[in-house]
Amino acid sequence: MGQQMFDLTGRRALVTGSSQGIGFALAEGLAAAGAMVVLNGRDKAKLAAAAARIAGAEILAFDATDHDAVRTAVDAFEAAGKPIDILVNNAGMQHRAPLEDFPADAFERLLQTNIASVFHVGQAVARHMIARGRGKIINIGSVQTALARPSIAPYTATKGAVGNLTKGMATDWAKYGLNCNAIAPGYFDTPLNAALVADPAFSAWLEKRTPAGRWGKVEELQGACIFLASDAASFVNGHILYVDGGITASL
Residue 207 lies in domain: 9-246
Domain-embedded: residue 57: yes
pLDDT band at 3 (very low <50, low <70, confident <90, very high): confident
Residue 38's nearest CA partner among 142, 127, 125 is 125
Domain-embedded: residue 1: no
Domain-embedded: residue 144: yes
187 catalytic? Reply is: no
Domain-embedded: residue 108: yes
Q: What's the CATH number where 211 sits?
A: 3.40.50.720
- pLDDT tens string 150-191: 999 999 999 999 999 999 999 999 999 999 999 999 999 988
**Total domain count, the chain:** 1
pLDDT over 70 percentage in the chain: 100
pLDDT at 191: 82
Would residue 155 be called left, alpha or beta, if left means φ above 0 and alpha means ψ between -120 and 50 degrees? alpha
Domain-embedded: residue 73: yes
pLDDT at 192: 79
Domain-embedded: residue 131: yes
Whether residue 2 is predicted with pLDDT greater than 80 in this model: the reply is: no
Domain-embedded: residue 2: no
Domain-embedded: residue 3: no
Contact (Cβ atoms closer than 8 angstroms) between residue 238 and residue 182:
no
- pLDDT tens string 11-20: 999 999 999 9
pTM of the predicted protein model: 0.97
The Cα 74–Cα 97 span in angstroms is 35
